[in-house]
């Protein structure tokens, strides 16, 4: 990127790109939450409910304006947003004039639609980001990996991230750089990734082999000592893959398939968090799925690492879009958990009310009305305490024991 590695200009440029990446993530997070709340707002207004406030951020109000009956504005802490729908629970005290338009007085299907609208907004954004990526930027072609180096692995590991105890990778020790093209490995000419990976696998661990690379039009021979990983030779490079733009139908299929894969991964990570908590502050944090869970701090750090990496801007953009798509999917999935104060908890309350009303009707009794929310408040406080506690724990872990994402 202009300056040689290690120069002062290059270091400052790396810091600058890292800062840009972190800020970009915070902005994307804010937009993710605001769009989630916008889903609630637009649906509530469509059904004639009264929304008195719609704000980006929390804390002190920096700016606001009123449009009709809704106050729109920006608050000081840019880490979320909220919409205030009058009468969202039966515990809220409201003006008698607003009673007919209160949320809890509306038919169950309308309340359910408003509740799930935020999740739908995040899922829609996830799909649009993935479709745009596949159709506009392109995705790696199947079997199109080349011998051009995309990333030099910093350590010897089978995991996605490195720990302090992992030894330095042979490729890093040898001095390989991104965009180098490997011409031969251990005396064997390689023309594609399959040939290169085969040459690496058959190399005897512990032996030093010549690696011939082409860099900026010049040919260099770099000695590399092959490492052992699972009984096979390990070198530690990831290839550049040729990309292709997909048509509309294939882009939609890609988005659906990728969303499914991300959903499985997110569920595995979240389900493993209790098991990983004792390891969050140790060198083995990244050894389990739950240990790779991150907070807002970790997300900003990961985005900064993406922007400051030696990848091409095309690859950086792709990684950032995938990060934001996974963020939106996580917000959607989290809000589907049937616990108050999450959307899933409110949806569960609506479902319980209708089920109870059906049972009463079958018994010839009148509709019992809304759920007594005071009875649910203890459970709500417990759920909120757990969510906040885990969130603070992950923030602390990301500050004191951050995960190094692949560069």
Helices 296-308 + 313-335 axis angle, to 10: 170
Measured in whole angstroms, the distance separating CA 146 from the mean position of its chain's CA atoms is 28
The tokens for 388 are 């906040």
Q: Is the dihedral of CA 7, 8, 14, 17 positive or negative?
A: negative
Cα–chain center distance at 148: 28
Using CB atoms within 10 A of its CB, is residue 317 exposed (0-12), middle (13-18) or buried (19+)? middle
How many Cβ atoms sit within 10 Å of the Cβ of residue 247? 10
d(CA 211, CA 220): 8
Q: Is 99 one of the annotated active-site residues of the chain?
A: no
Q: Output the six-digit token pair for 150.
A: 């995309």
Tokens 């996974």 sit at which residue? Answer: 326
- Which has the closest alpha carbon to 38: 124, 101, 109? 124
Q: Which residues of 349-385 are buried (b: 16+ CB within 10 A; e: fewer)?
A: bbeebbeebeeeeeeeeeeeeebeeeebeeeeeebee
Torsion angle, alpha carbons of 96, 102, 108, 112, to 10: -170
The active-site residue, picked from 37, 92, 301, 353, is 37
Catalytic residues: 37
């Amino acid at each position: 990127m202009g300056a040689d590695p290690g120069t002062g200009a290059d270091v400052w440029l790396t810091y600058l790109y890292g800062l840009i990446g972190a800020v970009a993530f915070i902005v994307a997070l804010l937009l993710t939450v605001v769009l989630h709340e916008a889903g609630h707002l637009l649906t509530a207004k469509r059904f004639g409910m009264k929304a008195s406030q719609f704000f980006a951020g929390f804390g002190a109000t920096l700016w606001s304006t009123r449009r009709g009956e809704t106050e729109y504005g920006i608050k000081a802490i840019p880490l979320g947003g909220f919409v205030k729908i009058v009468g969202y629970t039966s515990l809220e005290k409201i003006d008698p004039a607003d009673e007919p338009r209160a949320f809890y007085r509306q038919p169950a299907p309308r309340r359910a639609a408003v509740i799930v609208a935020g999740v739908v907004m995040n899922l829609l954004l996830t799909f649009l980001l993935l479709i745009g990526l596949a159709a506009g930027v392109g995705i790696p072609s199947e079997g199109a990996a080349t011998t051009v180096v995309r990333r030099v692995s910093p350590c010897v590991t089978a995991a996605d991230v490195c720990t302090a105890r992992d030894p330095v990778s042979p490729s890093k020790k040898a001095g390989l750089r991104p965009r180098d093209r490997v011409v031969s490995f251990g005396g064997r000419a390689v023309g594609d990734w399959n040939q290169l990976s085969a040459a690496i696998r058959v190399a005897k661990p512990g032996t030093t082999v010549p690696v011939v690379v082409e860099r900026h039009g010049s040919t260099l021979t770099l000695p590399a000592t092959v490492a052992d990983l699972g009984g096979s030779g390990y070198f530690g490079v990831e290839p550049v893959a040729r990309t292709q733009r997909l048509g509309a139908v294939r882009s939609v299929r890609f988005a659906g398939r990728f969303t499914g894969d991300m959903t499985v991964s997110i569920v595995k990570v979240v389900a493993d968090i209790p098991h990983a908590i004792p390891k969050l502050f140790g060198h083995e944090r990244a050894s389990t799925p739950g240990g790779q869970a991150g907070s807002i701090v970790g997300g900003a750090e990961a985005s900064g690492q993406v922007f400051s990496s030696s990848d091409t801007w095309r690859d950086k953009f792709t990684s950032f879009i995938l990060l934001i798509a996974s963020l939106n999917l996580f917000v959607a999935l989290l809000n589907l958990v049937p616990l108050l104060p999450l959307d899933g908890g409110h949806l569960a309350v609506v479902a319980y009310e209708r089920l109870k009303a059906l049972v009463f009707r079958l018994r010839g009794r009148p509709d019992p009305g809304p759920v007594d929310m005071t009875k649910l408040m203890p459970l709500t406080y417990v759920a909120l305490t757990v969510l906040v506690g885990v969130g603070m724990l992950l923030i602390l872990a990301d500050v004191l024991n951050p995960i190094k994402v692949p560069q």
